[in-house]
Amino acid sequence: MHRSARTLISFAHLAALPLIIGCNSILGIQKAELSETAGGECDLNLDKALVDGCIYRASCDPISPPFNVSNCVTYKSQLVIPEEEATLNAKSCKPIEEALGRRYEPRSSCAGAPNGWVCSPDGSSSLYCGEGRPYMRDCSARGSVCTVTEDADPGAYPCGIPDHITCKAGENKNPFCEGDLQLGCTEGRPIGYDCGEVGTKCFEAESNATCLPDAGRCNKVNEIKCVSDSKIDFCAAPGVLVHYECAKGTSCRNGEAGVDCYVDGCEPEPDCEEGCAKDGVTLEFCVAGAKVQRKCTDYGFDFCSSYKSADGVTTFAYCSMDEGKPFPGTTADWSDEQGSEEPEEEEPEEEEPDGPGNGDVNCYPLESGSCTSLEACTDDTVCYYLVNGKDRFDEDCDIPGPASDQVAVMCDLF
């Protein structure tokens, strides 16, 4: 899972407003973390379609969203810009992938490809192969082209508009605006895209640039105010208005934690934090003072995962799939992967080997994935490959090749 952690602003702590720069960046708001119960005093009547859409939005995208599930539900963050609006009320990964131009790809799509970014022949898209799941970006959807053909960090942006900027070798240049183009340099590569392609405009502030909806101007940066019982205006740097809407069942008012969305009779619980429950499949998020739980398995996923933002303040939780399985409703073609999950049965040998290391090796699938031929066991031991591709235990056993996150096998000598 390639998740680029982002720093989000807080309604309760507005000392600094970091610009969020990146290929899919918009303003993200992290409210004061609050805690469907709070001592039984909270009466939430959440919009199921909104909640479902936010969970798919957080889970189907290989890149970290600019908001977590808590903020997505509380502030209807998907309504901020047209690109995100297309993901509202999603019922599978398909609308997420089509709207954002990003999706996970099956491992077979990287067969024979080097580690790092690989451009399509026409440069319209890019594919990342390497650690973690493969995933693609549609560069053309944002008016750019694939600009890398060698190894690159999975968090790097592979699309650019090279005709509009010249980068010196190894140069890193902060994003800036050229009209509605957001441009910059990353290790000498020209990067950027057309903000207009996602329904926004390019704005510069503090030696950086970002794409924001052009909803109007404001004078007091970081100011938050209730426009109505359900609507909030936020003044983002460099003085651009961003409109948010409180979720159904909440309203905007000035409470103890400041201007925010609240549920009447529900006091904020600072200990409420987004994450995964101990069962490993339940996603927990916070909405206006209440903790809400949803099982990832009810959405077609296998388990729940979470990670912290780079500053350690915000937790992002999302649902995911076991390796080798397609995401719910994905637009990617996983047909090549499906035929590889069941290993071929091996005929047992009639004779016992003379000694350790001289006999055949049997492979037994432990979970999902394909079974490969393992040889050269040097002792009568058991060897394991783990599904996550990171851990490998092999006592006294020489297993050729790297550990694969597609393989989960037990190797035992006769």
- The domain segmentation of the chain, as residue ranges, is 9-320, 340-414
For residue 2, the model assigns a pLDDT of: 52
Per-residue pLDDT tens digits for 349-408: 444 433 333 333 333 333 333 334 344 333 443 444 333 333 334 433 444 444 443 333
Rounded distance, CA 374 to CA 383, Å?
Answer: 10
Mean residue pLDDT across the chain: 74
Taking the C-alpha atoms of residue 308 and residue 8, their distance in angstroms, rounded to an integer, is: 11
By CB atoms closer than 10 A (0-12, 13-18, 19+), residue 167 is buried
Q: Three-class SS string for the chain?
A: CCCCCCCCEECCCCCCCCCCCCCCCCCCEECCCCCCCCCCCCCCCCCHHHHHHHHHHHHHCCCCCCCCHHHHHHHCHHHCCHHHHCCCCCCCCHHHHHHHCEEECCHHHHCCCCCEEEECCCCCEEEEECCCCCEEEECHHHCCEECCCCCCCCCCCCEECHHHCCCCCCCCEEEEEECCEEEEEECCEEEEEEHHHHCCEEEEECCEEEEECCCCECCCCCCEEECCCCEEEEEECCCEEEEEECCCCCEEEEECCEEEEECCCCCCCCCCCCEECCCCCEEEEEECCEEEEEEHHHHCCCEEEEEECCCCCCEEEEEECCCCCCCCCCCCCCHHHHCCCCCCCCCCCCCCCCCCCCCCEEEEECCCCCCCCCCCECCCCEEEECCCCCCEEECCECCCCCCCCCCCEEEEEC
79 vs 150: which has the higher pLDDT: 79
Is residue 318 pLDDT above 70, yes or no? Answer: yes
Query: Letter for the amino acid at 258?
Result: G
Left (φ > 0), alpha (ψ -120 to 50) or beta: where does 197 sit? Answer: alpha
Which pTM was predicted?
A: 0.71
Cβ atoms within 10 Å, residue 170:
9
pLDDT in tens, 212-233: 888 889 989 889 999 999 999 9
- Cα 125 from chain centroid? 18
Lowest mean pLDDT across 122-136, 248-262, 386-400: 386-400
Residue whose tokens read 């000598």: 413
Mean of pLDDT values over 308-315: 87
Q: Which residue, among 64, 25, 35, has the nearest Cα to 309 in the 3D structure?
A: 64
